[in-house]
Amino acid sequence: MHVDPFTDRNVSEQSAYYYVDMGEYPQTGWGKFKQVVKRSLKGELFVGLWVVMREMIKFDIHTVQYPKEKLPIGPRYRAVHKLLRLWESGFERCIGCGLCEKICISDCIRMDTRIDEESRKEVTEYSINLGRCIFCGYCAEVCPELAIVHGDRYENASEQRAHFVIKDDMLTPLDFLTAGQQKEYPGFGAITPHEDERVTKTPLAY
CA distances from residue 49 to 40, 46, 56, 108, 147 in whole angstroms, order as listed: 13, 5, 11, 55, 57
Query: Which residues face 92 on adjacent strands?
Result: 85
Rounded to whole angstroms, the Cα distance separating 120 from 77 reads 33
Instruction: Give burial (CB, 10 Å; 0-12/13-18/19+) of 22.
Output: exposed
Least distance (Å) between residue 157 CB and other proteins: 18
Least distance (Å) between residue 46 CB and other proteins: 9
Least distance (Å) between residue 191 CB and other proteins: 41
Residues at the contact surface with other proteins, assessed by CB under 8 A: 29, 32-33, 36, 45, 48-49, 51-53, 55-56, 59-63, 65
By C-beta, is 157 or 199 nearer to other proteins? 157
By C-beta, is 34 or 120 nearer to other proteins? 34
Q: What is the maximum alpha-carbon separation in the chain?
A: 98
How many other C-beta atoms lie within 10 A of the C-beta of residue 1?
4
Least distance (Å) between residue 156 CB and other proteins: 22
By C-beta, is 60 or 196 nearer to other proteins? 60
Rounded to whole angstroms, the Cα distance separating 64 from 182 reads 28
By C-beta, is 12 or 28 nearer to other proteins? 28
Least distance (Å) between residue 158 CB and other proteins: 23
By C-beta, is 34 or 121 nearer to other proteins? 34
